């Protein structure tokens, strides 16, 4: 168990405030340790028996509204929850005032003063009332942030910093421990953050870059001040980077107060990322560092910062020549590194004193100063001979600072174990890694999946053979068993062997570190190659599109499509993450169980594998439900993991929340904001298949909800370009039916107002449910329209909802007619209320990325959606894990046995196809009937030898019928459904 917070922060017990004494913060500011302890007590963070854990805050994410103001001791909780939802207004929290006290104070003072004298009331000091003398100043919002940071465990710290980055806030780079004053560098917290930007070269070519921030090499501009400053340094920096957003917290921000305890000496870092537009403030990605407080009092941080900076920017009051701070400035002035001095008591325009050394006056000047400082920074950055580069992970090389990754034993052990695995991948072709290191999930697994589908979906030819059906089934089962035996002949790769060994040998935090490190290092290993392949794919796709526009059907078009398919396969092969390793383990387990023997090289009991996966799920990692590459559910593995989960947790009740949407419509972003999760988010295909993740319900919320966990099911984006031409429709329709069928509630995610594609998919889902009569399903859904700015026009929205309801009911009625059901309304199949279950979301970004923060309205919409979901969930009992296990089995088996509907775009297509089948039968019967009539007429004459029949004679006899059939066909294919019919 973790040590108590105060012990972890090395508190000196002699400095405790005696019980009952209420001490003003000003009295303890000269004793930073005492001030920090007092603050932590005020925020009620010291009452925790261990460091704050991410899991505690994630389970609290399953709760209703988070207010804009709260009691002082609630601030850490509310601040964190808002931050997890990417609401940057977390740093604008207000403390609730006690209205009664405020009113009493006002009344008392009025009664004593009478009318009074204006001068005395305005300018003379008045004694504070008795109840105000001991009252502390309001807590500074940055003190709340830093107090939570200091009291958090390493995983929560990483989550906090990741979310701060998503909110476009500055991140803690060097942090003095408030109790020991040792400087700490939280490198671990930067590991999951990536930045992307675009630059324009001299030829006008735009190039894109995406990099983890800890290894991004950029110029760095260091800001620091000596002595008190009349103007805010942080506010000036915000104007340089992003004047519409407070990247660095400053004295004029809401939530600022007269005293701050934990920020002095903290160095924060933020990056300016250009967008490749002419309006960019800087042409390249630039890091900006901000040393809070008087630099003269924090020499160690100043030394590290100025040594690593490309440009030093000093904010200076009027200094005495012999001032100690002036000695420092003299050193910087003599150094070759560029220096910009901003003089607070001077109104001087930008002046270059000598090469690379500038001075600017700040007094009584506003925007002109920002423009001139930016000009000076750009000047020195463009001077390549003097510009050095900075990489955050290099901060760890400095002596006398504590690096979290180095000092945390579990973190070190986890990293060492992950590196042992990653080192096996060195100098290997990324597109062939899965083939050689993960053989169990390769061609053999895909063949097994195909055979399994054929087993459940016999062809018409096989059905016509009648008595051979059972023989065919037996034959396919034998082939599937042979594939399993062939899987067993593959050598278990050293990669997987070490992975399982590490999982078995590690416990607790060490395991979580190992898995997180492995994910980080794998991502690091693949990012560059995958980025190159994405770029190549985009180029090939653009070529194909241009040729399509020209209606080009030449050999060039065929070659371009072949190239596109080749790059698409390489891209699929190069995608390599933790989910693929777990998929391999699942296949090792399934093949071992199928052949009823342990793998000849396994040094462990394969039956322990589901238990390891269940432990990962409990720790917060997602588990793959459906393999997106093979479009198949590994039922043996998934049910074994669920069994292991039931053994560990008991048969808990869960509420299944699934999400469905077109590719890149913002599904994973929405889930991450709603529950503080960390599903992969980026442009392009990220999530493949379907994944489930457990979110624990807090004890407080269990009073309202009748279940213990929310089981979140995230699915891959439908209609993905990369899968175009590879049975995308079947795959998408199967996936959608599976995900909707599993969920107690499904969020149908739509980008904009256009629901056409999702309606097509939903029609198939509804018809599939009608055909799968044996399974009792009770799904419900909500439509979420992302990126809809105009939501004020109520009439417009009502009209849109009415049309949506009509369309859903119309398609349901059509599907019911096809399946001979008496269902009339969409809500009879999938519970849906068009008045309450259609939500509109503001656009995600407040401005243009990459520098735009998330839109606060988006966070508000997320909160409203969550409230709606929890309101509906409170009326549901959910299902037990064992019932969920049976639902997965029943639903997947039903999907395997259903083949017909999934190959169609929508219900209308099915209806048109069935009409065409009927017509086709009519046409073929007309021709066959005419031939039989001619045969009967000519048979006797031929038999008697009275006539010799020529081919032309037959054609003449058939001509009339042939013309009638041709006329009927032409007429039929020209009717209102001709666009659908033409594909057949």
Tell me the average pLDDT across 82-109: 70
| Residue 237 pLDDT > 90 | yes
Distance CA 78, CA 550 (A): 57
pTM: 0.84
Question: What mean pLDDT do residues 72-93 have?
Answer: 88
Strands 206-212 and 194-200: antiparallel
Residue 275 sits at φ, ψ, to 5 deg, of -105, 5
Least confident interval from 215-229, 575-589, 825-839, 968-982: 968-982
* Angle, alpha carbons 321-325-328 (nearest 5°): 100
Q: How far apart are CA 161 and CA 99, in angstroms?
A: 35
**Is residue 902's pLDDT more than 60?**
no
pLDDT of residue 25: 41
- Tens-place pLDDT, residues 395-454: 999 988 999 999 999 999 999 999 999 999 888 888 888 888 888 888 889 999 989 888
Mean pLDDT of 676-700: 71
pLDDT at 683: 40
pLDDT score of 292 more than 90: yes
The mean per-residue pLDDT over the stretch 45-67 comes to 67
Pick from 202, 192, 391: which is nearest to 285 by CA?
391
Q: Provide the angle, in degrees to the nearest 10, between the axes of the packed helices 578-594 and 469-489.
A: 120
**pLDDT, position 582:** 92
419-428, 713-722, 875-884: which range is least confident on average? 713-722
Q: What is the mean pLDDT of the chain?
A: 81
Name which of 617, 618, 636, 616 is nearest 627 in CA terms. Answer: 636
**b/e sequence 19-51, b meaning 16+ C-beta within 10 Å:** eeeeeebeebeeebbbbbbbbbebbebbebeeb
Average pLDDT (910-936) is: 80
Measured CA to CA, the distance from residue 22 to residue 2 in angstroms comes to 30
Residue 273 — pLDDT band, cuts 50, 70, 90? very high
Is residue 131's pLDDT more than 60?
no
Cα–Cα distance measured from residue 719 to residue 605, given in angstroms and rounded to the nearest whole number: 41
Query: Which residue reads 């190659």 in tokens?
Result: 529
pLDDT of 722 > 70? The answer is no
> Can you name the residues that pair with 223 across neighbouring β-strands?
290, 313
pLDDT of 762 > 90? The answer is no
**pLDDT of residue 650 exceeding 90:** yes
HSE-CB for 229 with a 13 A CA cutoff = 25
Give, in order, the Cα–Cα distances in Å from 326 to each of 90, 267, 293, 343.
Answer: 39, 22, 17, 13
Cα 47 to its chain centre, rounded Å, is 33
- pLDDT at residue 723 greater than cutoff 50: no
Q: What is the 3-state secondary structure (H, E, C) of 681-716?
A: CCCCCCCCCEEEEEEECCHHHHCCCCCCEEEEEEEC
How would residue 684 be classed by pLDDT, with cut points 50, 70 and 90? Answer: very low
pLDDT (tens digit, 9 = 90+) per residue, 347-356?
888 888 888 8
What stretch of H or E contains 937? Answer: helix 907-943
Q: What is residue 772's predicted lDDT score, i.e. its pLDDT?
A: 65
CA distance 94 to 967: 78
Q: How confident is the model at residue 188 (pLDDT cuts 50, 70, 90)?
A: very high
Q: CA torsion, points 198, 201, 207, 209, in degrees to nearest 10?
A: -60
Quick one: pLDDT at residue 14? 35
**More confident of the two residues 99 and 204:** 204
- Over residues 276-304, the mean pLDDT reads 92
Q: What is the mean predicted confidence (pLDDT) over 824-835?
A: 85
Of 520, 498, 519, nearest to 417 by C-alpha is 498
- Cα distance between residue 418 and residue 414, in whole Å: 6
Greater pLDDT, 127 or 838: 838
Give the strand pairing for 220-225 and 339-343. unpaired
pLDDT computed for residue 725 by the predictor: 44
Two structure tokens written together for 786: 């992302």
For 142-180, the pLDDT digits (tens) are 999 999 999 999 999 999 999 999 999 999 999 999 888
Q: What percent of the chain has pLDDT over 70?
A: 84
């Amino acid at each position: 168990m973790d040590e108590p917070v105060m012990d972890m922060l090395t508190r000196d017990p002699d400095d405790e405030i005696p019980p009952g004494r209420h001490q003003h913060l000003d009295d303890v500011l000269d004793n930073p340790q005492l001030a920090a302890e007092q603050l932590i007590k005020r925020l009620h963070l010291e009452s925790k028996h261990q460091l704050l854990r991410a899991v505690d805050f994630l389970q609290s994410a399953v709760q209703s509204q988070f207010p804009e103001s709260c009691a002082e001791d609630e601030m850490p909780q509310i601040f964190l929850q808002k931050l997890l939802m990417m609401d940057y207004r977390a740093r604008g929290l207000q403390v609730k005032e006690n209205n009664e006290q405020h009113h009493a104070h006002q009344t008392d003072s009025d009664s004593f003063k009478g009318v009074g004298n204006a001068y005395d009331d305005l300018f003379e000091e008045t004694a504070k009332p008795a109840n105000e003398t001991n009252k502390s100043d309001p807590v500074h919002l940055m003190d709340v942030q830093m107090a939570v940071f200091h009291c958090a465990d390493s995983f929560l710290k990483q989550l906090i910093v990741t979310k701060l980055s998503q909110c476009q806030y500055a991140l803690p780079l060097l942090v003095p421990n408030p109790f020991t004053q040792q400087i700490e560098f939280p490198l671990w917290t930067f590991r999951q953050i990536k930045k992307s930007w675009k630059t324009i070269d001299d030829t006008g070519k735009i190039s894109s870059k995406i990099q983890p921030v800890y290894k991004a090499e950029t110029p760095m501009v260091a800001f620091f001040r000596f002595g008190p400053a009349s103007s805010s340094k942080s506010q000036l920096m915000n104007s340089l980077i992003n004047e519409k957003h407070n990247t660095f917290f400053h004295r004029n921000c809401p939530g600022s107060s007269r005293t701050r305890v934990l920020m002095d000496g903290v160095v924060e870092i933020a990056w300016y990322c250009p967008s490749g537009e002419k309006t960019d403030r800087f042409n390249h990605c630039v890091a900006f560092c901000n040393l809070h407080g008087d630099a003269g009092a924090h020499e160690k941080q100043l030394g590290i910062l100025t040594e690593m900076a490309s440009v030093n920017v000093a904010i200076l009051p009027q200094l005495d020549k012999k001032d100690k701070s002036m000695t420092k400035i003299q050193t910087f002035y003599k150094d070759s590194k560029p220096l910009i001095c901003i003089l607070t008591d001077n109104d001087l325009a930008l002046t270059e004193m000598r090469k690379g050394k500038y001075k600017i006056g700040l007094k009584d000047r506003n925007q002109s100063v920002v423009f001139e400082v930016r000009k000076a920074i750009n000047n020195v950055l463009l001077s390549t001979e003097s510009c050095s580069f900075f990489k955050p992970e290099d901060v760890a090389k400095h002596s006398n600072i504590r690096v979290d990754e180095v000092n945390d034993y579990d973190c070190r052990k986890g990293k060492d174990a992950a590196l042992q695995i990653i080192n096996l991948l060195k100098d290997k072709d990324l597109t062939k890694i899965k083939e050689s290191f993960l053989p169990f999930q390769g061609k053999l697994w895909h063949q097994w999946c195909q055979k399994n589908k054929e087993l459940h979906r016999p062809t018409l030819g096989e059905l016509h053979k009648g008595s051979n059906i059972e023989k065919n089934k037996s034959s396919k089962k034998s082939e599937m068993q042979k594939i399993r035996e062939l899987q067993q002949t593959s050598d278990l790769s050293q990669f997987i062997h070490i992975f399982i060994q590490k999982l078995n040998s590690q416990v607790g935090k060490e395991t979580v570190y190992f898995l997180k490190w492995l994910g980080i290092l794998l991502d690091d290993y693949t990012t560059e190659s995958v980025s190159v392949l994405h770029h190549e794919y985009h180029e090939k796709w653009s070529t194909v599109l241009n040729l399509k526009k020209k209606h080009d059907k030449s050999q060039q078009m065929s070659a371009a499509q072949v190239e596109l398919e080749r790059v698409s396969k390489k891209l699929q092969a190069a995608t390599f993450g933790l989910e693929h390793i777990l998929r391999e383990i699942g296949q090792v387990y399934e093949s071992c169980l199928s052949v009823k023997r342990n793998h000849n090289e396994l040094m462990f009991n394969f039956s322990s594998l589901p238990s390891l996966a269940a432990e990962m799920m409990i720790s917060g990692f997602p588990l793959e439900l459906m393999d997106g590459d093979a479009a198949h559910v590994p039922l043996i593995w998934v049910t074994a993991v669920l069994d292991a989960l039931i053994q560990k947790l008991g048969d808990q009740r869960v509420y299944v929340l699934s999400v469905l949407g077109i590719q890149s419509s913002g599904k994973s972003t929405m889930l991450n904001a709603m529950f503080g999760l960390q599903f992969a988010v980026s442009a392009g295909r990220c999530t493949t298949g379907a994944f489930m993740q457990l979110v624990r319900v807090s004890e407080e919320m269990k009073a309202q909800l009748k279940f213990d966990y929310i089981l979140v099911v995230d699915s891959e984006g439908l209609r993905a370009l990369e899968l175009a031409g590879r049975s995308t429709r079947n795959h998408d329709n199967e996936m959608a039916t599976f995900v909707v069928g599993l969920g107690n509630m499904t969020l149908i995610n739509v980008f904009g107002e256009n629901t056409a594609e999702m309606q097509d998919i939903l029609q198939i889902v509804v018809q599939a449910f009608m055909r799968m009569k044996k399974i009792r399903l009770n799904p419900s859904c909500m439509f979420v329209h992302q990126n809809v700015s105009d939501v004020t026009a109520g009439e417009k929205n009502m009209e849109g909802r009415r049309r949506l309801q009509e369309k859903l009911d119309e398609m349901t009625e059509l599907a019911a007619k096809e399946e001979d059901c008496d269902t009339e309304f969409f809500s009879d199949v999938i519970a849906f209320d068009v008045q309450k279950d259609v939500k509109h979301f503001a656009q995600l970004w407040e401005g243009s990325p990459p520098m735009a923060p998330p839109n606060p309205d988006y966070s508000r919409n997320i909160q409203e959606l969550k409230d709606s979901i929890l309101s509906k969930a409170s009326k549901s009992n959910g299902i037990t894990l064992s019932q969920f296990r049976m639902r997965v089995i029943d639903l997947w088996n039903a999907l395997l046995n259903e083949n017909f509907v999934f190959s169609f775009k929508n219900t209308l297509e099915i209806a048109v196809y069935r009409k065409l089948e009927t017509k086709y039968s009519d046409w073929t019967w007309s021709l066959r009937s005419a031939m039989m009539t001619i045969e009967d007429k000519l048979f006797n004459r031929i038999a008697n030898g009275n006539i010799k029949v020529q081919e032309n004679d037959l054609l003449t006899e058939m001509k009339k019928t042939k013309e009638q059939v041709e006329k009927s066909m032409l007429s039929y294919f020209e009717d209102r459904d001709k666009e659908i019919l033409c594909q057949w």
